[in-house]
Amino acid sequence: MSRAFVRGIQTTTRTLMQFAGGVRPSDLISQNGGHGPEWEMAARIVTQAIEKADPRISVANIQ
């Protein structure tokens, strides 16, 4: 198998970041009032950057 083909398979099987623990992204919105959407978007941006930097990381624990 060529490396390009294997690399293509690896990128298509990537999983999206999953949130673990007691806090969900929707909790960020409800608990932070008017700034909730900003906090939720910030959490998603950070987790996407982490996943892009190291695809082996697939779970985020928001505290």
The pLDDT tens digits of the residues spanning 21-45 come to 777 778 888 998 999 999 989 988 9
- The alpha carbon torsion through 24, 26, 30, 33 (nearest 10 deg) reads 110
- The alpha carbon torsion through 13, 16, 18, 24 (nearest 10 deg) reads -160
pLDDT at position 47 is 86
Kindly report the pTM of this predicted structure: 0.61
pLDDT at position 14 is 52
Q: Residue 54: pLDDT above 60?
A: yes
The three-point CA angle 19-16-59 to 5° equals: 35
For CA atoms 7, 52, 21, 18, the dihedral sign is negative
Per the prediction, the chain carries an average pLDDT of 76
